[in-house]
Structure 1
Amino acid sequence: MTESEALPFVFGGLEPPLSDFGNSHVLIWPVPFERTVTYGHGTREGPAAIIEASRNMELYDEEIGGETAKIGIHTLPAMNADREPEEMLRALHREAQKLVMTGKFVCMLGGEHSISAPVVRAFREEFPHLSVLQIDAHADLRDSYDGTPYSHASTMRRILEVCPAVQVGIRSLSAEEARVISRLPTRVFYAKDLTGRLDWMDKAVDSLRQDVYLTIDIDGLDSSLVPSTGTPEPGGLTWNEVLGLIRILALKRNVVGMDLVELCGSPGSNASSFLAAKLVYKTLGYIFRKLVPPLDC
């Protein structure tokens, strides 16, 4: 048995007291729901794949200058996802309401993107001036898809019913979405307009309200970096572009919660899973930078 295999099956492989609920600033919430995907499958395996990859990460972050894990990260049991979409989304909303009231930072791991909308609704109830930053290849603005308004392809349309958003990295949308997007409460930063530039990051963050929920569809990154996702799209964001945006977001805004969705945890997808785990960990480092103790020398 290797050293990593001996670690607990929780995010970062953390052990008590760092993994205890009472000592944690962060709750990792696995939600392995997959019912409305329409192309590649495997997002139900995403949360477990991210947690497994995270057990093999170095916990020291050279950019932060310490171990973000020292703030305490508790991994919740995976939510029961064997439900029909509408029932699942109601259950997600109820559970999210409870988690928001703990006062801890909630990071949900999906799972397909439809799970984000009811969670955002719960955060909006606690933070009246909430806005959403979406990193994604797809606009997800269809009013309904395959006969349901609760599809992963409709999640941002449902979110915009409760709060405004900024959408970054978009490079795939339907004619239906293109017709209505200018009339919706969202500002879109298309991937084609971002290449070779940095000024867009501040503009995107400055378009958000003070309280922000961050939703990351892993296909927002270029498909060469993350091929293990349901609908991989070429022409996406680079690793450093995504980190740069989140770094500025954490500096300028109050990030109240987040999710990372649409990773397909299929066999042989270690690179994609590791990137997703590292992205979650880096994001937590930016958000909690002031609380991370410096390295003991």
Structure 2
Amino acid sequence: ADLRNSYEKTKYSHACVARRLIEKNKIVQVGIRSLCQKEADFIKKKNLRLFYARDIVGREEWMEEAISRLSDKIYLSIDLDFFDPSLIPAVGTPEPGGLGWYETLKFLRLLTKEKKILGIDVVELSPAPQDIPSSFTAAKLIYKLIAYLTAI
């Protein structure tokens, strides 16, 4: 969930990104599959609503709820660990049970129609030189996002 207060003696680790964001911003996290006890305690203490993969994979009703929790103008950060590793295995933390391609595209299409996206980042791709499918899939995701954002 990247909600740790610190990791490996720094507050600015990849495992702390969401925690830093929550300090100043409203965020929505989708596709969470694992977290440590400290993260679970923080979620409970702050009464955060996370969209866990186990609750949303294969369903669509969560999409509107997730979008409705966002401001009108948003920054979109996509951690490729979000996907099931059968789709993109070359990530920092390949965790089974992630979301699939088509449900992700459906969510992103809805999101880009309903919210003004001010910026996007796509992170955590970590391919070996011979791992062309992971890089291709990440590039295609970015291509799709650009297409959704520029659609008339």
TM-score category, normalised to shorter length: over 0.9
CA contact (8 A) 1:160 1:185 kept: no
**Could you tell me which amino acid in structure 1 is paired with residue 133 of structure 2?**
A
1:194 is aligned to 56
Shift of 1:183: 3.4
Equivalences, count: 152
For 1:1-297, list aligned pairs within 5 A: 139-184=1-46, 186-290=48-152
CA contact (8 A) 1:140 1:157 kept: yes
What are the superposed Cα offsets for residues 163-202 of structure 1, whole Å, 9 maximum, x if unpaired?
A: 0100000001000000111333743100000122111111
RMSD: 1.1
- Provide the C-alpha distance between the structure 1 equivalents of 2:46 and 2:144, rounded to a whole number of angstroms: 31
TM-score (norm 1): 0.50
CA contact (8 A) 2:2 2:17 kept: yes
Give the gaps of 5 or more residues in structure 1.
Answer: 1-138, 291-297
| Bigger helix fraction | 2
Percent identity over the alignment is 49
- Provide the C-alpha distance between the structure 2 equivalents of 1:182 and 1:252, rounded to a whole number of angstroms: 29
**Could you tell me which amino acid in structure 1 is paired with residue 25 of structure 2?**
C
- Provide the C-alpha distance between the structure 2 equivalents of 1:185 and 1:252, rounded to a whole number of angstroms: 25
- Provide the C-alpha distance between the structure 1 equivalents of 2:114 and 2:21, rounded to a whole number of angstroms: 22
CA contact (8 A) 1:169 1:236 kept: yes
State the structure with bigger RCO (CA 8 A, min sep 6), 1 or 2. Answer: 1
TM-score (norm 2): 0.96
Secondary structure of 1:232's aligned partner: coil
Give the gaps of 5 or more residues in structure 2.
Answer: none
Whichever of the two has the greater Rg, that structure is 1
CA contact (8 A) 1:222 1:235 kept: yes
- Provide the C-alpha distance between the structure 1 equivalents of 2:124 and 2:58, rounded to a whole number of angstroms: 26
- Provide the C-alpha distance between the structure 2 equivalents of 1:185 and 1:268, rounded to a whole number of angstroms: 43
CA contact (8 A) 1:165 1:187 kept: no
- Provide the C-alpha distance between the structure 1 equivalents of 2:146 and 2:24, rounded to a whole number of angstroms: 25
- Provide the C-alpha distance between the structure 2 equivalents of 1:147 and 1:250, rounded to a whole number of angstroms: 37
Which runs of structure 1 show a deviation greater than 6 angstroms over 4 or more consecutive aligned residues?
A: none
